[in-house]
């Protein structure tokens, strides 16, 4: 499947290269573009696909957290038809997707952000390096109040793109201020207990 766009969303076939994704979104999805630009190298992005990165379901995969934050949908096809799976459910566990026997990831549908979205990657080198940790975030603010928020982190748990549910709850419904964010930060200790390893 190729890549396409509508006023509401982008739809990217699982086999579309990451370079083609960058060309498609072209300024419309800054959080995704930022992550794609530190994904491997230019040569790798010309061969790597969004579907390949997601189906591998690595806990340090670069695309999972930002796609969860952007509320992306995995379009899954099989003999029994097509179904839409929210990206947070598609990335089900350590190296485990929500694909059933006989199903494939056909495409990824990415809504145009309605809130403020951002992504971050921590690695030893800017390019050609795996993530130590990564994050995708989107916050919806109405009249200075956090209406909703999605915080997804990679590299901090076995499950790729694990949501920071306690931290989200501490921010939802509160004023969107630096003080509110600082007060919510300790909740990250509830959300994640990363193992201590070489990375």
Cα gap 159→178, rounded to integer Å: 29
Q: 124: burial class by Cβ within 10 Å (0-12, 13-18, 19+)?
A: exposed
For the chain, what is the mean pLDDT? 92
Whether 13 and 3 have beta carbons less than 8 Å apart is answered as yes
Percent of the chain with pLDDT over 90: 75
The reported pLDDT for the residue numbered 41 is: 76
Q: Which two tokens stand for residue 28?
A: 């419309």
Structure tokens at 92: 């089900």
In this prediction, residue 165 has a pLDDT band, given cuts at 50, 70 and 90, of: very high
Helix (H, G, I), strand (E, B) or coil at 152: strand
Please determine, for residue 188, whether its predicted confidence score (pLDDT) is greater than 60: yes
Contacts of 109 (CB under 8 A, 6+ apart): 9, 10, 11, 12, 72, 73, 75, 84
Lowest mean pLDDT among 53-62, 119-128, 132-141, 151-160: 119-128
* DSSP E strand stretches across 62-192: 73-78, 81-86, 91-93, 96-97, 104-111, 116-122, 133-142, 145-154, 162-163
Q: What is the pLDDT of residues 80-127, one digit of tens each?
A: 999 999 999 999 999 999 999 999 999 999 999 999 999 998 876 666
Return the C-alpha torsion angle 145, 115, 70, 4, nearest 10.
160
The Cα 63–Cα 72 span in angstroms is 11
With cut-offs at 50, 70 and 90, classify the pLDDT of residue 32.
very high
How deeply is 149 buried, as exposed, middle or buried, from its count of CB atoms within 10 A (0-12, 13-18, 19+)?
buried
pTM over 0.85: yes
Q: How far apart are CA 197 and CA 199, in angstroms?
A: 6
State the chain's maximal CA–CA distance in angstroms: 52
pLDDT at 197: 64
Poorest-pLDDT segment among 40-44, 114-118, 138-142:
40-44
Asked whether 40 and 48 are in contact (CB, 8 A), the reply is: yes
pLDDT at 199 over 60: no
Whether 62 shows a pLDDT value over 80: the answer reads yes
The radius of gyration computed from the CA coordinates of the chain, to the nearest angstrom, equals: 17
């Amino acid at each position: 499947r190729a890549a396409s766009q509508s006023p509401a969303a982008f739809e990217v076939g699982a086999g579309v290269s990451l370079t083609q994704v960058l060309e498609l979104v072209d300024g419309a999805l800054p959080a995704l573009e930022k992550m794609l630009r530190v994904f491997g190298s230019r040569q790798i992005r010309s061969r790597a696909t969004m579907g390949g990165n997601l189906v591998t379901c690595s806990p340090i995969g670069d695309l999972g957290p930002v796609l969860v934050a952007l509320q992306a949908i995995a379009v899954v096809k099989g003999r029994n038809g097509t179904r839409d799976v929210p990206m947070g459910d598609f990335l089900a566990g350590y190296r485990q997707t929500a694909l059933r026997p006989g199903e494939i990831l056909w495409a990824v549908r990415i809504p145009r952000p309605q809130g403020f979205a951002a992504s971050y990657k921590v690695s030893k080198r800017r390019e050609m390096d795996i993530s130590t940790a990564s994050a995708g975030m989107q916050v919806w603010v109405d009249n200075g109040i956090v209406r909703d928020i999605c915080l997804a982190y990679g590299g901090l748990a076995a499950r790729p793109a694990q949501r920071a549910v306690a931290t989200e709850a501490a921010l939802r419904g509160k004023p969107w201020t630096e003080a509110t964010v600082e007060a919510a930060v300790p909740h990250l200790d509830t959300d994640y207990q990363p193992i201590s390893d070489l990375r």
